[in-house]
Structure 1
C-alpha cells in the first residue's frame, strides 16, 4: 500500500458510497429519521455520510455521552510522547454546523425496537426509522480475578480513551529506574489487536529516553500468540534489549488473579510484582447493544456481511467494535469502512439511492520506535456468510529503514484523513 493523503483516504475504504445521485422525493409524512448511537470512528462516519450523501433528505441524530471525542487509535503515541492529548481529541461542531446533524450529548439507556425509539438516561425519547448502533466496547471487569472498575483508577486499562489514557501516561512518567510495569493483555476478541504491544513499545521508548534502561515492561498474555508478533519482538530486541518481556500461557501457566493495591499478578509460574499495572480485561459490545437484544452468546452483535444490518432487526445496523465482522479486526479503520457500507444501505432503504456491492478495508499501523512503524491490513468482501479477507499484507522482519519510516508517515496521513472523514 502506498502513502495515504487526506483526500485519498476519503476515496479509499468503501468511499464509493459517496456522491451518489439521489431522488429528490421525501416520504409523505416528512423526512425519514436516522439515529446513530456512538460518536466514534463508526458512528460519526455513518452520521456524516448519511447526512452528506442524502443532501439533507434524511434527518440524522447522533448520540454520544461526551462533548468531545478522544480517539483510542493514536492514543499510544500520546503515551509515548509523540502526540499531545489535544491532538487526539476532536469536536462534533462541524457535523452540526456543516451537515445539519443533531448532536445529543447524553447516554442512550434503552431501545424499544417495536416502537422504534431510543430512550435517553434523562427519560427523553428519540424516534427512528433506521438505527445505527456503534457503541464500541464495554469491559468485562471480572474476567481478571481481583480487578474492578473502581480499581481501574489505580491500575488503568486505558482501553477507552480519555481520562484513563491521561492516568496511564501520568503513571508511566512516574516510573523510576529498576522498577517494573506489569501489563495484563486481553484475550481475543478485543479492540485493536496490535494495541497492547504498540503500547509496550511506547512505554519502553519513554523509559529509554529518560535513561531508565533498568526498568522493564512485563506483558502477561492469556494468548499464545499476538498480532505482528515476529516484527514486534524483532524491534524490541533491537531498540529495547532486556526492557520488554512477553510471557504467553505456555510459560506463565495462566493468570490466576491480581492484587492491585500490592501491585502483583499471580500466575501458575510465579507472582510478578510491579510499580505500575496496566490491566486490559476481556471485552464485549457496548451495553446498549446487549440491552437492545442485538448480541449473541459471544457478547457481540451478528450482522449481515453485505450491509452491516443486524441479523436480529432489519431496521438496525451495527458497526465498529460491537459487531461480529468476520475476518475484520476491531479497529478504527474497520469501523470507518463499515460505516460507509451501512450508510449506503440506509440511504437505499430510506430515499431509494443506489446500493453497490459491499467492499471493506483495514490497516493497523504500530510504532515501535521513532521512524520505525509496522503495519498489517487487508481488503474484504462478503463471502461464506461473513466478511472475508480477499487480499492481505503484513510487515516483514529485516525491512529497510526507509520503508518503516514511510509506514509511519503513512499512518500520520491516515490519522488526519480518518478524523476529517469522521468529523468533517
Structure 2
C-alpha cells in the first residue's frame, strides 16, 4: 500500500508536550472538569485524549453546535466528485460511548473567565477547571466590499463546511458551457493555505469532465504569491490549458466591489462576470475566542508554543485555526497535532500525569487532477517562544505520474487515519 496506514498515521502524530509549572491537583469529592468548545479535528481530538488517557480521572464535556461534523479538508474533493458528502461527515457517537465524553449539542455564546463557566445559547451554563477553545474560524464578510452573510447565500464562501459546501456544489453543477466562475481568494492568514487553489483545480476538473471548452475560471487574489504556486500553475497548464486565469494584485490593481445579484467582481483592471461567484473573505478566530478575550487586535489567539496554553489566561488552551501557531498553517492536521500537545499538558495540570517536550507535525495534500496529488509539510518544535518549522518538504514540479499517484493515495490513507484518530 502506498498510502499511510492508520497505524502509521498514529505513530506520525504521536507527540509529547511540555507544560508550564503549575500545581497538579485532584478534587477530593469530584473530578476536575475540562470543557472543549468546537468538535473538529482539534476539539474532538483533545476531548478524546484527555478522557482516554486520564482513564476516567477527568470529566470531559465537548460542546459543538451540530450533531455531526463535516470536514473542510477533503471538501474540495466532494466538489470535484471524488468524494460523497456523507464520506466527509462524521458522528460523535463513538467518543461518547467509548470514552465517556459528555457531548453537548449547542452553541457556546460566552465565557466567564472569573467564574470559569461557559454559557450556551439556551441560557444553560457549564463549569470548567480547564477550557479548550477550538472554534475554528469566522469569516469577515465586510472585508470584501459588497459581500455579506446574506450575499453568501447567492455567492457561497464554503470556508466553513456543511450547508455552504453543498450550496457551492449545487451552483458548480449548474454552470453551463460558456459560463464563467470567479473566485475571490482570501488574504493571509486564513484556513488551509492551498485550499482555494485545490478548489480551483476541482472546479476545472468538473468543467473538463463535462467537455466544456468555452468556460473560464478567474481567480482574483489579494496576495502576490500563494502556497504551492509553482505546482498548481504547472498542473493548470497541463490539465486545464487556457481555463484558469490567476490575477495577483499587481495585475488586477485592487478589488473594488462584488455584486452577487449581477454576478460581477469589479477590480481596477476589469469587471469579471461569473455564473458562479466563490467569495472567500478575510478570517479571524471563531467568535467564542474573541468573546472570551483571548485574542489579539487582529482577531487571533496567542498561545504558549510548548503547550498551546493561552498567553492571556492560564486556564484556557486554544488549538487549531483560531490560534497563532507560529510556522504551522491553519489545517486539520495541525489542529490534530496541537490537540495532543494540549491534552498532555491538561492532564499534567489536573492529575499527576507527566508532560514531555512538544513536537508537532503537519502535511497539506492537494489534488490537482485525477491521481495528480501534491503535498507540503514539516515537523515543528518550540524555539524562542514560537512554533518553528523543521525538516520542511514540498512536492516538486515535473514529478512522475507514478509519484503523484502515490501522493494522492497517501492522502487517502491519511484521511482515514485522522478520522479514526479523531472520532473513533
Contact in 2 for aligned 1:51/1:101 (Cα 8 Å): yes
Aligned to 1:51: 51
Does 2:410 align with 1:410?
A: yes
- Per-residue deviation, 1:15: 4.0
Return 5+ residue gaps in structure 2 as ranges. 18-24
Partners of 1:390 and 1:80 lie apart in 2 by 33
For 2:13, what is the secondary structure of its paired residue? coil
- Per-residue deviation, 1:287: 0.3
Q: How does 1:82-93 map to 2 (within 5 A)?
A: 82-93=82-93
- Per-residue deviation, 1:150: 0.5
Aligned to 1:382: 382
Q: Deviations over 1:162-201 (max 9, x none)?
A: 0100110010001111111000000000000000000000
Partners of 1:373 and 1:216 lie apart in 2 by 22
Q: How does 1:178-189 map to 2 (within 5 A)?
A: 178-189=178-189
Partners of 1:422 and 1:186 lie apart in 2 by 28
Contact in 2 for aligned 1:116/1:128 (Cα 8 Å): yes
For 2:146, what is the secondary structure of its paired residue? coil
Aligned to 1:313: 313
Partners of 2:256 and 2:222 lie apart in 1 by 10
Aligned to 1:198: 198
Does 2:31 align with 1:27?
A: no
Does 2:253 align with 1:245?
A: no
Does 2:356 align with 1:356?
A: yes
- Per-residue deviation, 1:29: 2.8
For 1:189, what is the secondary structure of its paired residue? coil
The structure 1 segments of at least 4 consecutive aligned residues displaced by more than 4 Å after TM superposition are none
For 1:166, what is the secondary structure of its paired residue? helix
Q: Deviations over 1:267-316 (max 9, x none)?
A: 01111111110000000000000010000011100000000000000000
Aligned to 1:395: 395
Aligned to 2:111: 111
Aligned to 2:22: none
Aligned to 2:42: 42
- Per-residue deviation, 1:26: 4.2
Contact in 2 for aligned 1:14/1:358 (Cα 8 Å): no
Aligned to 1:174: 174
Aligned to 1:22: none
Aligned to 2:76: 76
CA RMSD after TM alignment: 1.0
Contact in 2 for aligned 1:290/1:299 (Cα 8 Å): yes
For 1:311, what is the secondary structure of its paired residue? coil
Q: How does 1:268-307 map to 2 (within 5 A)?
A: 268-307=268-307
Q: How does 1:93-242 map to 2 (within 5 A)?
A: 93-242=93-242
User: TM-score normalised to the size of structure 2?
Assistant: 0.97
For 2:342, what is the secondary structure of its paired residue? helix
For 2:250, what is the secondary structure of its paired residue? helix
Partners of 1:154 and 1:89 lie apart in 2 by 23
Return 5+ residue gaps in structure 1 as ranges. 18-24
Aligned to 2:262: 262
The aligned length equals: 416
Partners of 2:323 and 2:237 lie apart in 1 by 36
Aligned to 2:21: none
Contact in 2 for aligned 1:175/1:275 (Cα 8 Å): yes
Contact in 2 for aligned 1:14/1:341 (Cα 8 Å): no
Aligned to 2:336: 336
- Per-residue deviation, 1:420: 0.7
For 1:132, what is the secondary structure of its paired residue? strand
Contact in 2 for aligned 1:218/1:245 (Cα 8 Å): yes
Partners of 2:204 and 2:390 lie apart in 1 by 35
Q: Deviations over 1:346-385 (max 9, x none)?
A: 0000012010000001000000000000000000000121
Contact in 2 for aligned 1:373/1:407 (Cα 8 Å): yes
Q: Deviations over 1:213-264 (max 9, x none)?
A: 2211110000000000001000000000011110000000011111110111
